[in-house]
Structure 1
Amino acid sequence: MTDMTCTAEQLIDDARTRVTLFTFAPGQQTGWHRHGFDYVITAITDCHMRLEHPDGTTTETTVPAGAAYRRDAGVEHNVINAGSAEMSFIEVELK
C-alpha cells in the first residue's frame, strides 16, 4: 500500500515564522488540519488541488507555479493533489 500522506519538510521554525515545503505525488493529501496562524502559500509547481471542507463539500482549484495567496488562521481542510503530476508549494505561517 502506498503512503497517501504528502511530504512536509520544515525549512524554518523560529519565533516569528514557520516555513514548510509540501510535496505531493498524485493523489497524496495533507490530512485534515486547522491552521493556527495566518499563512501564505507560494506554488513551486502548478498545483491542481482538491480541497475537502468541514461541511462535506469539495472544491478544485489550480494555483499556477509562482502564484501566491494568503489565508487567515482558522481555515480547516484537507488538501489533495488532484493532478497527474507531482505538486509542491511553500507555506509560510506568520506566528
Structure 2
Amino acid sequence: MCEANGTATGKILLENSRMRVTEWRFAKRGDNTGWHKHAFDYLVIPMFDGVLEIDQPDGTRVEAKLQNGVPYDRKAGVEHDVINGNDFECAFIEVELLEDAPSV
C-alpha cells in the first residue's frame, strides 16, 4: 500500500520484485489506515471475523463483513480509508502484486 498516515500499524512481512506482504493491525475500534490509493492489484486475507468500515472518496461509508481466512481481491486504483468497526483488535494480511506474473 502507498504511504498512509492512520493509526493502524503496518508491518512488512515479505517483499521482493513481484510482491509485498504486509500485516495490518488495528488495536481498537476507530483505528484506521488513513486515506490511500492502491498503485497495484492486491489481495486481503482477514485474520478475524468481523467488520471493517470503508470511507470512500464520494463521502460514503460502507461496511465490509469479513470472515477469518476468506480472501478478497481488488484492482489497482482503489482509494479509501479502512477503519476498524469492531470492539476488539483485528488484523489482515495484504498481498500487493508489484508486477505481472511472467508469461508461461
Report the secondary structure of 1:51's partner residue: strand
What does the per-residue CA deviation read over 1:34-86, in whole Å, with 9 as the maximum and x for residues that have no partner? 00000000011124100000010110121111110000000000000011111
Q: TM-score, normalised by structure 1?
A: 0.93
Report the secondary structure of 1:19's partner residue: strand
Q: Does 1:27 align with 2:30?
A: yes
Change (3 A) 1:19 1:47: farther
Report the secondary structure of 1:83's partner residue: coil
Alignment counterpart, residue 84 of structure 1, candidates 84, 87, 100: 87
Q: Does 1:8 align with 2:10?
A: yes
Gaps of 5+ in 2: 1-5, 99-104
How far 1:27 sits from its partner (Å)?
1.3
Q: Does 1:41 align with 2:53?
A: no
Q: 1:47–1:88: 8 Å Cα contact kept in structure 2?
A: no
Larger C-alpha radius of gyration, 1 or 2?
Answer: 2
Point out 4+ residue stretches in structure 1 off by more than 2 angstroms.
Answer: none
Gaps of 5+ in 1: none
Q: Over aligned residues, Cα RMSD in angstroms? A: 1.0
2:3 is matched with none
Q: 1:43–1:63: 8 Å Cα contact kept in structure 2?
A: yes
Give the Cα separation in 1 of the matches to 2:38 and 2:71: 17
Give the Cα separation in 1 of the matches to 2:49 and 2:20: 22
Q: TM-score, normalised by structure 2?
A: 0.85
Q: How many residues align?
A: 92
